[in-house]
Amino acid sequence: MFRRVAIIGGGAAGASLLSELAGRRTDGPQHLDWFVGRGAPGRGVAYATASPRHLLDVRAASMSMFAHRPNGFLDYARRSDPAIAGTAFLPRRLYGDYLEEEVARALAQAGTHGHDIHLVPATVDAAVPERDGVTVLHGDTESRVEAAVLALGALPPQPLPGVSVAARDSGRYVVDPWPFLAAPFDGPPPRRVALVGSGLTAMDVLLELSARWPEAEFTAVSPHGRPPESHLAKLGLPPDDGDELVAAMRDAPGARAWLRLVREACRQHRDWRAVIDSLRPYTPSLWMELPGEERARFLRHLRGYWERARHRMPPQAHEAVAALERDGRLRYLRGRLRAADTAADGSLRLDIGQPAALAAELAIQATGLDTDAARSPHPLVRQLLTNGHVQADPLGLGLQAEPDGRLRHHGEAWPTLFAIGSLLRGTLWESTAMPEIRQHARLLADRLLGR
């Protein structure tokens, strides 16, 4: 049992693990240092938005922080509105409120169980793992723990290759949409806005800015040139337990074969969404069985299609986006951003592989979750990689790790350094949504407590 543990990261993954540990009775007290940064503990980037237009893309009944309290979030939401259905897609800000309440509950439980918990409003600058513990440094403070868990969430987004320094310095090319949306806009509203990406993040940006700037027109650019698919208003049950399809995929571990098998299964059933959802419990094990070259092929050719089908929009958000397209305020273009630079009139010119450059007064990079640890400027990730304490996933999907979260270095796994959440995408693929995070938090808490 690790009695002194550091949890590094103040978002939902860190909150889930802290709550699992704090709520358990142990033979002796636990000492937990939770480095939450400067935001509200538990919210992170995902649930810090204040906009009512930003909705969860998972139904309320599936968003509990705990597997043993499956209706936790739904019960919380129904306190203010008893009519809320379990199939509803609720605002992310409400979920952030729920996380904060659960954190407060966990801290109170920790006191009754004799645990010692410190919420540290700082970021960790460096960590030095060893076989018998980890040294954690922040500012001028150094502490020694028996184990540390990286719960960093999404890494800071980086400008895409080809974006000039002039474009970034002009303020017209926005690399990180979330601080931009949270801050007041200085200047007259732009009339032509380019969205680099057309996934869920891009749609969040679109819905917010189209309401703020009713005269603006938007162009969303992505390799497939289409928005995410929509959830059904009513819950569709999987056609079966998925065993037959999964067995066939295991017999043919390759991107092309998987595409063929999934297409066949979708043609045999009334709604393709149910087929995709039936794969969710098996996705981590399927991904781990996929050879490295097939993973790379999947990312090159199928990732965009999978993301559109797997990460769907709530019906009301999908309809709002469709209305913008019908009104002529939104169009989609197929292409990849090759270059972005300023023009003589101060606007932006975006080379997206089309015959003519795309002109815009403002461009917002909204390509979603950044997990490319090798390129990340995140101070702690850079320190760990530079010092050889961890290894980046070769496909840009976080850090190399074991399925139980132990981070790898030089061909072996640390017994004292773990990760949870997005840094495990290269190992588990499905590692960023709350249903997976809460399960991993429970299993990781078991391991940390020696159970």
Tell me which DSSP letter residue 214 carries.
Answer: T
- What DSSP assignment string belongs to 250-311? HHS-SHHHHHHHHHHHHHHSS-HHHHHHHTGGGHHHHHHHS-HHHHHHHHHHTHHHHHHHHS
Q: What is the pLDDT of residue 241?
A: 63
| Residues forming a β-bridge with 92 | none
Give the Å distances, CA to CA, from 54 to 192, 338, 372, 374, 383.
Answer: 22, 29, 25, 30, 34
Q: How far is CA 409 from the centre of its chain?
A: 24
Nearest-5° angle of CA 386, CA 388, CA 391?
95
What does the pLDDT profile of the chain (451 residues) look like in tens digits? 899 999 999 999 999 999 999 988 888 889 999 999 988 899 998 899 999 999 999 999 999 999 888 999 999 999 999 999 999 999 999 999 999 999 999 999 998 889 999 999 999 999 999 999 999 999 999 999 999 999 999 899 999 999 999 999 999 999 999 999 999 998 899 999 999 999 999 999 999 999 999 999 999 999 999 999 999 987 766 556 678 999 999 999 999 999 999 999 999 988 899 999 999 999 999 999 999 999 999 999 999 999 999 999 999 999 999 999 999 999 999 999 999 999 999 899 999 998 889 999 999 999 989 999 999 999 999 999 999 999 999 999 999 999 999 999 998 999 999 999 999 999 999 999 999 999 999 999 999 998 7
Q: What is the pLDDT of residue 46?
A: 87
Residue type, 149: V
Q: Which of 152, 104, 122 is nearest to 33 (CA)?
A: 122
Are 358 and 350 in contact by the 8 Å Cβ rule? The answer is yes
- What DSSP assignment string belongs to 8-31? E--SHHHHHHHHHHHTS--SS--E
In the chain, what are the domain boundaries?
Answer: 4-156+371-448, 165-230+312-365, 243-310
Q: Which of 32, 25, 34, 44 is nearest to 2 (CA)?
A: 32
d(CA 9, CA 37): 7
Q: What is the pLDDT of residue 239?
A: 57
> Could you count the other beta carbons within 10 Å of the beta carbon of residue 53?
17
Do the two domains 4-156+371-448 and 165-230+312-365 of this chain adopt the same fold?
A: yes
Residue type, 437: I
Tell me which DSSP letter residue 327 carries.
Answer: T
The token pair that represents 360 in the structure block: 């815009």
Q: Coil, helix or strand for 147?
A: strand
Q: Coil, helix or strand for 33?
A: strand
Are 146 and 375 in contact by the 8 Å Cβ rule? The answer is no
d(CA 268, CA 80): 42
Q: Which of the following CATH numbers is that of domain 165-230+312-365: 3.40.50.970, 2.60.40.10, 3.50.50.60, 3.90.950.10?
A: 3.50.50.60
d(CA 106, CA 118): 12
Are 428 and 287 in contact by the 8 Å Cβ rule? The answer is yes
Give the Å distances, CA to CA, from 342 to 81, 174, 349, 357.
Answer: 49, 13, 6, 12
Q: Coil, helix or strand for 208?
A: helix
| CB proximity list for 305: less than 8 A, separation 6 or greater | 224
Q: Is the pTM of this model over 0.75?
A: yes
Q: 4-156+371-448 — its CATH code?
A: 3.50.50.60
d(CA 153, CA 421): 6
User: Measured on CA atoms in the order 176, 349, 222, 287, is the torsion positive or negative?
Assistant: negative
| Residues forming a β-bridge with 342 | 348
Tell me which DSSP letter residue 418 carries.
Answer: E
